[in-house]
Structure 1
């Protein structure tokens, strides 16, 4: 599962990396959580950034609020599931990021937060799908979810799933409306995250109210209660 990630970059950095235009101001985000409005790049508008809510409402669920239940889908089965098949075929997106978080469990209650990022803190993109629906007020909302896959050896030490990170060539194929389903399945079956590094971060990341550069800094291993441990 992926339930928190970071995008601590400036607008011009995002535009340069993804060769897409952002028409609104953007402030770096260090602790992105489900239900929040964040930038994505869609197959319908690959040359520009759109802002969608993280937490998809499947197309069979009419007039429902943004759902925190549906924030991820398994890459291995997304093309088969009734709730996601249509989005996989017609509504794919890239989710820009520069890191993501997972929590290492130590015992029944203790959790240590880790951040996974590239050694150079560079940008990358998760594979995602998106949905459009009307809310109770008749307004059109757009939501997305992140596809997850089997973890790399590094991530497997912490969690049994990780977000599917696309290489640059696959980013273009993922957004291309004419990419065959077989090619898309090959992308979903690819390896992900071998180039990542990890380190422990402050338990401040546990609260979505905290969203500052201090979140992504290396920190001594500490649990959700602020207790430092030697077993991070």
Structure 2
């Protein structure tokens, strides 16, 4: 699954990378978590950024709050699941990011956080879908989730799933409402590990309230736990 990611880029960098306009200000984010409001680009409005909450409320769940349960969907079955089928067909989006986190199990009670990035730590986009719902105050809210696939060899050392990372070419296919079903499914592949890097980061990332530049810096095993033998 993907339960935490980063978007440590400026508004100008994001507008240049995705050729889309971002209304208002944007502050780089180093520890994005479910239920938080983040920029996405939708198939309905590919020329601009929208701000949606992470954690989808399915179409059939009217007047429900932002969900922490539906933050990911499996790419292998998304076109068939009742919860996501319509959104997959009609409400696709890309989610800008520059890294994501996974935790390596070291023991029964010990986990080590790792950050996964693309070469040169450039910005990229996850494949996603979005929904709209009406809250208890009658306000329309928008939510999104990240689609996952089987992990590539690099990520599989930590976790058996990874988010679908699109290339600039597949981003366009994903946002195009005319793209056929099979072409959409072909986008949902593990990203090439040769174009990725990973490294350990501070356990401070475990706390959602922490959101500082230090979280995305490489950390030695000693800095993580005070004991190199944990990585033996």
Give TM class, smaller chain: over 0.9
Q: Deviations over 1:40-71 (max 9, x none)?
A: 00000000000000000111111100010110
Query: Cα gap change, 1:84/1:222 in structure 2, threshold over 3 Å: closer, same or farther?
Result: farther
Query: Cα gap change, 1:32/1:193 in structure 2, threshold over 3 Å: closer, same or farther?
Result: farther
Q: Deviations over 1:15-52 (max 9, x none)?
A: 00000000110000000000000000000000000000
SS of 1:120's partner is helix
Q: Deviations over 1:79-100 (max 9, x none)?
A: 0000000000000000000000
Q: How far 1:72 sits from its partner (Å)?
A: 0.2
TM-score, structure 2 normalization? 0.96
1:134-153 equivalence runs, <5 A: 134-153=134-153
Q: Which position in structure 2 is the counterpart of 1:172?
A: 172
Aligned length: 230
Q: Deviations over 1:99-129 (max 9, x none)?
A: 0000000111100000001230100100000
1:150-161 equivalence runs, <5 A: 150-161=150-161
**Partners of 1:20 and 1:67 in 2: how far apart?**
27
1:190-209 equivalence runs, <5 A: 190-194=189-193, 195-209=195-209
Q: How far 1:175 sits from its partner (Å)?
A: 0.2
Q: Which position in structure 2 is the counterpart of 1:115?
A: 115
Q: How far 1:221 sits from its partner (Å)?
A: 2.3
TM-score, structure 1 normalization? 0.96
Q: Which position in structure 2 is the counterpart of 1:91?
A: 91
**Partners of 1:32 and 1:113 in 2: how far apart?**
14
Q: How far 1:220 sits from its partner (Å)?
A: 1.5
Query: Mind listing any 5+ residue stretches in structure 1 that lack a counterpart?
Result: none
Q: How far 1:227 sits from its partner (Å)?
A: 4.5
Query: Cα gap change, 1:150/1:223 in structure 2, threshold over 3 Å: closer, same or farther?
Result: farther
**Partners of 1:18 and 1:170 in 2: how far apart?**
13
